[in-house]
Amino acid sequence: MLEWLIVGGGIHGTHLALVLIQGAGVEHERIRVVDPHAEPLARWHACTANTGMAFLRSAAVHHIDLHSDALTQFAKAPAGKPFARFVEPYRRPSVDLFRAHALDVIERSGVQQCWTTDRVCGIQRINGGWQVASTAGSMEARQVVLAMGAGEQPAWPLWAQSLGMMDAPIHHVFAPALPHQSRPVASCRCCWWRYFGSPNRIGISRTATAKRDTADAPCPTQASTRQ
Ligand SMILES: Cc1cc2nc3c(=O)[nH]c(=O)nc-3n(C[C@H](O)[C@H](O)[C@H](O)COP(=O)(O)OP(=O)(O)OC[C@H]3O[C@@H](n4cnc5c(N)ncnc54)[C@H](O)[C@@H]3O)c2cc1C
């Protein structure tokens, strides 16, 4: 029986695996991270690529490593220097630096030794732990952590669904990959929706980073779609 089974290898699941391996000294073979993607942080990479964002919203102390200054130290090391860019406020690191640091941490910790590419589809209590069903079989673990994120349950408000039915080029930022031409062209100040697309054919997508990056535009909840 495994000691720990982590469902989801995104930011949180990967960080937890690191805490167990490096912080608590749990051996790799007693931990399993189950995720449908081949590598850690796949959803994070997809979402940041979708928005084209160059810098994080969060400060340099937020990353997947154990110590708060780890990313800052990495930025001074040869592997991090080429990506060492920060912006104010809060000294936010570049997406490239965050990514390079995360890959470095993952490689050094050996998190991928705990990795299983699979999807969990059920869980039930058994004596001394849990039996977890996946598409490839089943596993038993004393402790199970659900770190599945929200990316596979995107919320589409009714107005966005209606626009989709009218063939507007509307996308959700959680989509695996937005169409290439869909770059943000405007954003709304009163909520976190962002317009995507070419100027004569504009779509809308939801993102948490919309507020500061792009020009103002009418709120899609109040204005009709421009096409
Ligand atoms: C555009 C954008 C920019 C952001 N910028 C920042 C920022 O600057 N700073 C910040 O702190 N946060 C930021 N966030 C938020 C941050 O990305 C999320 O808080 C974080 O990615 C959530 O991580 P997670 O591990 O909980 O979920 P996820 O990253 O979604 O990972 C969950 C994983 O679980 C897997 N999974 C789901 N169901 C199953 C299953 N049944 N079996 C196995 N695996 C499963 C998924 O496939 C996925 O790989 C941003 C988010 C977006 C969308």
Q: Which two tokens stand for residue 176?
A: 């695996």
CATH for the 2-146 domain, from 3.40.50.2300, 3.50.50.60, 2.30.40.10, 3.40.640.10: 3.50.50.60
Rounded to an integer, what distance in angstroms lies between the CA atom of residue 151 and that of residue 139? 24
Average pLDDT of the chain to the nearest whole number:
84
Atom of ligand 1 nearest to the CA of 207: 1
Rounded to an integer, what distance in angstroms lies between the CA atom of residue 188 and that of residue 203? 13
Beta bridge partners of 193: 206
Q: Bigger pLDDT: 36 or 208? A: 36
Atom of ligand 1 nearest to the CA of 12: 25
> For the chain, which residues make up each domain, given as ranges?
2-146, 158-217
Atom of ligand 1 nearest to the CA of 62: 11
Task: Compute, in angstroms, the gap from residue 151 CA to the centroid of ligand 1.
Answer: 6
pTM of the model: 0.84
pLDDT in tens, 169-185: 888 888 887 776 555 54
Closest to 44 measured CA to CA, from 208, 171, 169: 208
Rounded to an integer, what distance in angstroms lies between the CA atom of residue 157 and that of residue 149? 19
Q: Is 113 exposed, middle or buried (0-12, 13-18, 19+ CB in 10 A)?
A: middle
Asked if the model's pLDDT at residue 204 lies above 80, the reply is no
- 215 neighbors 186 (Cβ within 8 angstroms): yes
Q: Bigger pLDDT: 219 or 44? A: 44
pLDDT in tens, 96-136: 999 999 999 999 999 999 999 999 999 999 999 999 999 99
- 69 neighbors 37 (Cβ within 8 angstroms): no
- Tell me, what's the pLDDT at 207? 47
- Tell me, what's the pLDDT at 194? 52
| Nearest alpha carbon, ligand 1 atom 20 | 11
Residues with CB under 6 A from ligand 1: 7-13, 34-37, 42-44, 47-48, 51, 56-58, 62, 119-120, 147-149, 151-152, 173, 207-209
pLDDT in tens, 70-83: 999 999 999 999 99
- Tell me, what's the pLDDT at 65? 98
